[in-house]
Structure 1
Amino acid sequence: MTETEAIARANAPRTRASLAADFRALGVQAGDVLMVHVSLSNLGWVAGGPVAVIQALQDAVTPAGTLVMPTFTLHLTDPADWRRFAVPQDWWATIRAEMPAFDPALTPSRGVGRTAELLRTWPDARRSNHPHSSFAAWGRHAEFITADHPLTFSLGEGSPLARVYDLNGRVLLLGTENNTSLHLAEVRAGKQATVPFSGPILVDGERRWVTFDECDYHEKAFPPVKAAFQESGAVTIGNVGSATAKLMSQRALVDFAWQWWTAGTLPPDSP
């Protein structure tokens, strides 16, 4: 969506104050741990862009709360597996040898939007150390959520997703249906194959190309689970700016999806 189209979607400019008010009206509370996914263009025209969005989220959760966003870097994978941006085969060896190692402070995210990329560099934010599946976090629990991110099964146990689960956090979708927390349920269900992933990391200050086990994540399986969970009444839906926003318990979502994929039935105490 162009900036002109975003202006056309709004009857007034969205601001830090108006967005914070919308977050509170949706049910975001002081002290919340929020896993946030944002489509900035769907919010309408925002005065201050992603800066205002993050400030509004901070106003809503307060310093007692925590914001978490994915800052993925799947362009640091093996070029032999690239499909969307395929490169010639005779480039592969050079890319594997020369691609800079993942560095939480330096490596930009890709494909997760401007708001998540800004949170990555926000003062006092933390970022987990994973070459493909890092998360950025700001607030009270930022260090706990991002510390010791395991290399293998990067969206499973020990990951920032699991830490948000441990803290009984919530998921906030702003103008998007992307919901990374479902990958935690995938890993826990154990239904997916294991595949090798590789990429450049720093080991004791030296660059190394490493290969490790990863879950063969399968987002095409998500829509039926999302629909059933929403139909159960467990999702609060409202407007934030021009966008449809959805707020839900991450723990309830993950438990629901785990039950769906392991037993094929809904949890007996589902909302």
Structure 2
Amino acid sequence: MTEAAAIARARGPITQARLAVDFRRIGLEPGMTVLVHTAMSRIGWICGGARSVIEALLQVVGPEGTIVMPAQSSDLSDPAGWCDPPVPQTWWDTIRASMPAFDPRTTSTRGVGTVAETFRTWPGTLRSLHPQVSFTARGPRAADILSSQPLEDPFGVVSPLAVLNQCGAYVLMIGTGWETCTALHLAERLSDPHGPTFEDGTALLVDEERRWVRFRMPQTNVERFPAIGAKLDGQAMLQHGHVGAAPSRLFPVAQAVDTAVEIWSLPSPL
């Protein structure tokens, strides 16, 4: 949505104060640890843009709370697997040879929105070390949440998502669909720990030298997330509301993961 379109649709500007009120109404509280997904364009015309969203989140959870966001950089992957858009096969070797190595300080996000990218550079924000599917966090629990994210199993039992699952964290989805719910990737790993994988690659610094590194990643399937979301939407633990004009949800990571694991672990019908 263009800025002009957002202005035309809006009844008035969305301020930081209004965002804070909406976050409290949906159930966000001081001291919470919360994984946030945001479609900023759905909120409306925000005075201050992404900065106001982040400042309102930090204001509501307070100094004892921890904000977490996805910081995916899917462009740091093997070009042979690119499809949105693909590149000619004749380019692949050049891309592999010249792709900048992942740097948690400077590698930008891709496909996770303006709020997540702004949060990546926010003072005090930390980042996990996975080159493709890292997370960022700010707050007292940030270092523990981001401490370990294995290259070949970034969503499994040793990962930021696993820590969020164990520490009573919540997910806040602001105007986003269930296909964006990163927490459900943990449920995929728990329900099928030996599931299919695929070969990938990226540029990494190894002993201070840039190298092209090949590895295997778990196959994910976000197409089945909306069906889980439909079940979760009717549960009492999930709170619905609006942030600006954006339909939003707040729910505990652990209960969402448990529900998905229970369903996905059932035997397939013959």
TM-score scaled by length of structure 1: 0.95
Question: Counterpart in 1 of 2:60?
Answer: 60
Question: Counterpart in 2 of 1:13?
Answer: 13
Question: Counterpart in 2 of 1:197?
Answer: 200
Matches within 5 A, 1:1-271: 1-177=1-177, 178-190=180-192, 192-263=195-266
Mapped partners of 1:234, 1:30: distance in 2: 18
Structure 2 residue matching 1:70: 3-state secondary structure: strand
* 1:6-30 residue CA offsets vs partner (Å, 9 max, x unmatched): 1233222111111011101111000
Mapped partners of 1:264, 1:58: distance in 2: 43
Q: CA deviation at 1:213?
A: 2.2
Amino acid at match of 2:191: A
- What do you get for the CA RMSD once the two structures are aligned? 1.3
Question: Counterpart in 2 of 1:269?
Answer: none
Structure 2 residue matching 1:74: 3-state secondary structure: coil
Kept after mapping to 2: 8 A contact 1:9/1:242: no
Structure 1 residue matching 2:105: 3-state secondary structure: coil
Mapped partners of 1:76, 1:246: distance in 2: 30
Amino acid at match of 2:183: S
Mapped partners of 2:161, 2:6: distance in 1: 31
Structure 1 residue matching 2:75: 3-state secondary structure: helix
Deviates more, 1:48-57 or 1:142-151: 142-151
Mapped partners of 1:209, 1:162: distance in 2: 28
Mapped partners of 1:225, 1:132: distance in 2: 25
Mapped partners of 1:12, 1:78: distance in 2: 44
Deviates more, 1:189-198 or 1:234-243: 189-198
* 1:146-197 residue CA offsets vs partner (Å, 9 max, x unmatched): 1222111111222211111121100000011121110010011117312222
Mapped partners of 1:123, 1:72: distance in 2: 19
Amino acid at match of 1:214: M
Deviates more, 1:255-264 or 1:50-59: 255-264
Identity level (%) = 44
* 1:186-223 residue CA offsets vs partner (Å, 9 max, x unmatched): 01111731222211111221112112221100111111
Deviates more, 1:8-17 or 1:100-109: 8-17
Mapped partners of 1:203, 1:63: distance in 2: 36
Mapped partners of 1:247, 1:23: distance in 2: 9
Q: CA deviation at 1:264?
A: 5.9
TM-score scaled by length of structure 2: 0.95
Mapped partners of 2:185, 2:220: distance in 1: 7
Kept after mapping to 2: 8 A contact 1:172/1:246: yes
Mapped partners of 1:64, 1:94: distance in 2: 47
Question: Counterpart in 2 of 1:268?
Answer: none
Deviates more, 1:150-159 or 1:239-248: 150-159
* 1:100-125 residue CA offsets vs partner (Å, 9 max, x unmatched): 11000010000000100011100010
**Unmatched runs of 5 consecutive residues or more in structure 2:** none
> 4+ residue runs of structure 1 moved beyond 6 angstroms?
none
Amino acid at match of 1:58: L
